[in-house]
Chains A and B, each alone.
Chain A
Amino acid sequence: MEGNVFTVALVGILIPIVAIVGGLIIAGLSMHQRARLRELAYRERIAMIEKGLMPPPETDPQAFESAAFRRETAPVDSFSMYRAVKFRTAGLILMGIGFGLMVLITFAGDQPGAGIGVGGAIALLGFAFNSIFPQMGTQLELRAFTVMVVGGMGSIPGAVIGAYVLGLGEVTALTVSSELRDAFVFGLLFATLVLRPHGLLGTRSVERV
């Protein structure tokens, strides 16, 4: 049994490392590229304004989330600067903040966190069930989605409450019938989205033009 525990612990360390490195490479590459393309689009608009031309209307949907933007107008620390990236790309470029680099830095901070979190959770699961396998994450993927939606996106207490609602509900459903278990998870997900799309604790996003 000693060897078994040792192996699981080793894998528990290896998985986060692989997740960190892989996540960094992939996220960095894709985010940087996407950020670059977006920056280009804005630069083109700015160049047009400087030439005295009228740029075409903005089609970036995120630019319309101005209700949230009003709370984020004063970028002071790096995190609110990151959120400013989301809400006002053009303004950020005009202020001289390197957009692509900013996104890259945020992701560099973000991915190891997620890697350690996921790796740690998987390692604990491995200890709990005495087995690990490459596909063990897939059953949890959709449940994690459900927890997030039920609790409310972007709310940490919501995620915890959502996890309890889902976990206890799932076990209760299991006492009735084994098929009801999955039905409960996805029924809950669907019902939440239709009846209360912002979840238990999330904030309702207001759309403004």
Chain B
Amino acid sequence: MDVVGELFRAYSTLLAGVATSALLALSIWVTLYAGQLTLGNAAFMGVGAYVAALLTLRAQWPFQAALLAGTLAAAAIAFPLGATVFRLRGVYLAIATLAFGEMVRVAILAIPMTGRGQGLNGIPPKAELWHVWLSLVVVGYALARVRTSTVGRAWAAIREDEIAAGAQGIAVRRYKLAAFVLGAAIAGWAGALDAHLNFSIDPGLYGFARAVQILVFTVVGGVPNVLGPIFGAGLLTALPELLRPLKDLRDVFQGLILLLVIVYLPRGLVTLAELRRTRRLARIGQADVA
């Protein structure tokens, strides 16, 4: 018996969870990088999961086709939604996308085909661990390349100042919509994979709590680059396991860690190296003003 293989099998659920969380965190990173706070990713994940699961479960579609269909369904819903909702900014945009997420949940509860509150059970377990990790690597690499491309720089310009970006000739609405649809597609993909990993889904999985959780992954990890959301998701998914010895105090400690990161590293864990620069700025500032 090899110990490594044993360990791997024992923790395969956790490993898969880390990768899907990281994919979801990357999906919200796209819009955050463009400076837009949207909270619809949990709903897009749900759309992807339900479409893919219904296709494999009821229509006996092959797994690959169902995955693709789930992803496209999420993107297809995101397109008209983004076109309507991107007239809004800031908190209003966040609330509107949140309302959309809740509407998706209510719709799933109301349509009989989705199994309503009981959800879907016995989804064929077609997804494997390497599928999720491969997706994460591919999506992470692709986004890292996009970040440094023309598109990525346009997103950064929109984030820093929308009006100035528009004046520079960047099609602000179009780039925002592109970020939104891309994020929705990634979330849909992650949802479809997740449904085929866990065999069972229900509407409660894709509600407000999940939306906030995805946002927290990315905010804790940091938006400046692609590694941030992956670190954040990995840390926050694995943390409950690492803190297991603390027993009942586990949630308290997890909350405390979150709080400290957000207060002292407001731009995320990946900006740890910049802390010293902030201190230096503090000294310069005091010397010059006093």
Can you offer 8 A-B residue contacts whose CB atoms are under 8 A? A47-B285, A47-B289, A59-B161, A142-B208, A183-B103, A193-B92, A194-B96, A209-B163
Q: Does B257 contact A (CB under 8 A)?
A: no
Q: Does B170 contact A (CB under 8 A)?
A: no
Q: Does B76 contact A (CB under 8 A)?
A: no
Please determine whether B95 and A193 come into contact, CB atoms closer than 8 angstroms: yes
Q: Does A186 contact B (CB under 8 A)?
A: yes
Please determine whether A43 and B95 come into contact, CB atoms closer than 8 angstroms: no
Count how many chain B residues have C-beta atoms less than 8 Å from C-beta atoms of the other chain: 36
- Considering only residues 168-222 of chain B, those with a C-beta below 8 Å from chain A are 208
Please determine whether B288 and A46 come into contact, CB atoms closer than 8 angstroms: yes
How far in angstroms is the closest Cβ of chain B from A151? Answer: 13
The stretch that binds A, out of B21-29, B223-231, B239-247, B260-268, is B260-268
Q: Does A110 contact B (CB under 8 A)?
A: no
Please determine whether B103 and A186 come into contact, CB atoms closer than 8 angstroms: yes
Please determine whether A142 and B288 come into contact, CB atoms closer than 8 angstroms: no
A97-128 vs B: 1/0 string, CB under 8 Å? 00000000000000000000000000000000
B142-185 vs A: 1/0 string, CB under 8 Å? 00000000000000000011011000000000000000000000
Q: Does B99 contact A (CB under 8 A)?
A: yes
Q: Which of B84, B98, B99, B284 contacts A44 (CB 8 A)?
A: B284
Also in contact, A182 and B102, with CB within 8 A (given A44-B281, A46-B288, A197-B92): yes
Residue of A nearest to B286 (CB): A43
Residues of B whose CB lies within 8 Å of any CB of A are 84-85, 87-88, 90, 92, 95-96, 98-100, 102-103, 105-107, 109-110, 160-161, 163-164, 208, 259, 262-264, 266, 278, 281-282, 284-286, 288-289
How far in angstroms is the closest Cβ of chain A from B115? Answer: 14
What's the Cα separation between A40 and B283 when bound, in Å? 9
Also in contact, A59 and B160, with CB within 8 A (given A190-B103, A197-B88): yes
Please determine whether A57 and B103 come into contact, CB atoms closer than 8 angstroms: no
Residue of A nearest to B85 (CB): A194
Residues of A within 8 A of B105 (CB): 182
Residues of A within 8 A of B281 (CB): 40, 44
Please determine whether A33 and B264 come into contact, CB atoms closer than 8 angstroms: yes
Q: Which of B84, B85, B161, B264 contacts A57 (CB 8 A)?
A: B161
A-B pairs under 8 A by CB, number: 90
Please determine whether A190 and B266 come into contact, CB atoms closer than 8 angstroms: no
Residues of B within 8 A of A185 (CB): 102
What's the Cα separation between A185 and B100 when bound, in Å? 11
How far in angstroms is the closest Cβ of chain A from B203? Answer: 11
How far in angstroms is the closest Cβ of chain A from B268? Answer: 14
Also in contact, A30 and B262, with CB within 8 A (given A44-B285, A183-B103, A183-B106): yes
Residues of B within 8 A of A61 (CB): 90
How far in angstroms is the closest Cβ of chain B from A21? Answer: 15
Given contacts A29-B259, A179-B106, A190-B100, 16 further A-B contacts (CB under 8 A): A33-B264, A40-B278, A40-B281, A43-B286, A43-B288, A44-B281, A44-B284, A50-B288, A145-B95, A145-B98, A182-B109, A187-B99, A187-B103, A189-B99, A190-B96, A194-B84
